[in-house]
């Protein structure tokens, strides 16, 4: 199985900050990498698919990059509604594993 490792596990930031979350796969997954946002008590919501494609309706302050084993999710200017937990997920092979999550908190 492909293991997904996110860093950091948690992050404190302020409104307006630029934030980057990284995700590393245990083997190459090309660009088969998705990013999800989850708020407490809610279902996850897809933000980015295929490493860098923005899902419809997602604000352009979210962006993704990377290929192979190393990927990043960047939020260019944090908004109050962005404080949540973020997960990467590989869809290169079954089982489609998730990273352990990065909790983004208000500083």
Partner 1 sequence: QVHLVESGGGLVKPGGSLRLSCEASGFTFSDYYMSWVRQAPGRGLEWISYISSTGSDTYYADFVKGRFTISRDNAKKSVSLQMNNLRADDTAVYFCARDAAKRIGMMTVDLFDYWGQGTLVTVSS
The answer to whether the beta carbons of residues 20 and 31 sit under 8 Å apart is no
Q: Which stretch binds partner 1 (CB under 8 A): 10-18, 19-27, 38-46, 73-81?
A: 38-46
Q: How many Cα atoms are found within 13 Å in the side-chain-facing hemisphere of 86? A: 30
32, 62, 73, 84: which one binds partner 1 (CB under 8 A): 32
User: Smallest distance, Å, CB 53 to partner 1?
Assistant: 6
Say whether 70 sits in a helix, a strand or coil: strand
Q: Which stretch binds partner 1 (CB under 8 A): 17-25, 58-66, 74-82, 95-103?
A: 95-103
User: Smallest distance, Å, CB 47 to partner 1?
Assistant: 10
The answer to whether the beta carbons of residues 77 and 17 sit under 8 Å apart is yes
Q: CA-to-CA distance for 26 and 13, rounded, in angstroms?
A: 28
User: Smallest distance, Å, CB 15 to partner 1?
Assistant: 26
């Amino acid at each position: 199985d492909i293991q997904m490792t996110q860093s950091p596990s948690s992050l404190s930031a302020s409104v307006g900050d630029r934030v980057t979350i990284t995700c590393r796969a245990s083997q190459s997954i090309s660009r088969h990498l998705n990013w999800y946002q989850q708020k407490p008590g809610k279902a996850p919501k897809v933000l980015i698919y295929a490493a860098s494609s923005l899902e419809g309706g997602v604000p352009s302050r979210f962006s993704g990059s990377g290929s192979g084993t190393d990927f990043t999710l960047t939020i260019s200017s944090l908004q109050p509604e962005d404080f949540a937990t973020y997960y990467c997920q590989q869809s290169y092979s079954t089982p489609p594993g998730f990273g352990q999550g990065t909790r983004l908190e208000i500083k």
